[in-house]
Chain A
Amino acid sequence: MKLRLDAYVDLASPLHCWEPRCKLVALTALIFAFSFVRELRLLPAMLAVSTVLYVLSRLPLSFLVARLRLPGFFFLVVALLLPFLSGTTPFFHLGPLVVKKEGCLHLLLITVKFLSILTAGIVLFGTTRLLTLVKAMAALGLPTILADMTVFSYRYLYEIGDNLRAMQTGTRLRGFRTRSFRGLGTLASLVGTLLVHSYEQADSVFKAATLRGYGRSVSSRGDFQAHPQDLAGLLVGLLTAAAFVVAEMFLRQWGGKP
């Protein structure tokens, strides 16, 4: 399983050097501010902010494009339905079908929002190791059980993925093909075996982790130190997020129709 989330975390951009807690809070605020936007007039600003973030992160464009493939299918379905189903004002005719203006505008809104949120998310998780971000979340108050479960699960994800691949290869070599419902029992046994292996492995993991000090209360606050430039970045991020929320409320209240 090639997850490659950490592929570019060792670059040296300003976003890579940003203190993880400040980055997490600022970019999360920005992501939620983007999701608050419903005014079409704010879409260019949203795209501009996310583009600036991505350029500053120095992540390659291919990294972003590769991550658009899977959600792209969902958006394809939405793009095929929404312009025909949503709204009442005819925009243009496509043979016997009527394309509605409201549907097209709605499609534009959700597509730009999706792209902007996705870009900010990729900047957040593409410029810091996931485990560092989980530690930052724990330092910001994430319950210990959730933080520990996230770290352990991530640690063994690759290993269990490899186990599954080995088992699938084994079943294929013995002539098993998943072509009909009759294979459901074999697939259930495969998943059951994977669960049993993982459960048995967990005992040794717990013992090894306990020997390394797991369970003793250690504060993760000391792991991070924010410098003035980190706090300045946090302030800029929060002010930008607040600006989107205020502009959205202002335009909804007094801006009239675009």
Chain B
Amino acid sequence: MTRYRLGTFWLELVMIAVTAVMAFPLYVLVNMSLRPEGSVSSPTAPTTSPTLENYGDAWSQAGLGSALLNSITITGLSILILVLVSSMAAYHLARVTAMWSRGVFVLVMAGLLLPFQLALIPLYVTVRDLGLLGSVWSLVLFHSGLQIPLSVFLYVGFIRALPREYEEAARIDGSGSWQTFRLVVFPLLRPITGTVIVINTVLIWNDFLTPLLYLSGSPSQTVPVAIYSFVGQYITRWEFVSAALVLGVLPVLIAYFAMQKHVIRGFAGGLKG
């Protein structure tokens, strides 16, 4: 079980081969993006004279700079709101055992099952009537509401397992409920706050349908929508398009590889519950 045997060696080879096959699409993508336009050689053959020309053009024409800024604003603000609002609500739901409090919990958990497509269209009408279409605020609002069930679920599970002694000690010393939460409880939630941030960042950053609807026709776009409209326009110029796709993937992958331990732990631990 613990020794490295011949069988382990073969397994290692198989696993490396599988990973290489899984990574192959990304090789093709980068390979294509380095090619001068109109190249006729096969997409899998290594590029002979690599150029970075496509990148500069794609960056400016796809408007990726401002899209990146919008994505960062939307994701950052939504997560700030989600962490604050969900941890507070979860603290209440985990600690108060009254009948109605359990009812609220079930109501919030029901949101885990409701597909957002159901709320999408009526909410679109409301947002339109409020004149918020095309504004990044509509998306901050949308994501802050939509991700509450998952965030509350994660926080409640964690808080229920948290010993009450610290907060009770603080209360006896005359600390108010808000003070107790802010100074005693919230710092203890750090591990699960990390999970909430990781999962929500991936979900909000990558969301496509909502910004496609709520920001359509406006100059402000998120990265997925900017990529979508850019690629749709130039789909035949694949070398050019590949560079835009690589630029769209880079921020995500850089963040992922820099924090891979936390990201994987966040998904594995958080979703496993």
Do the two shown chains form a genuine complex with each other?
no
A residues lining the B interface (CB < 8 Å):
none
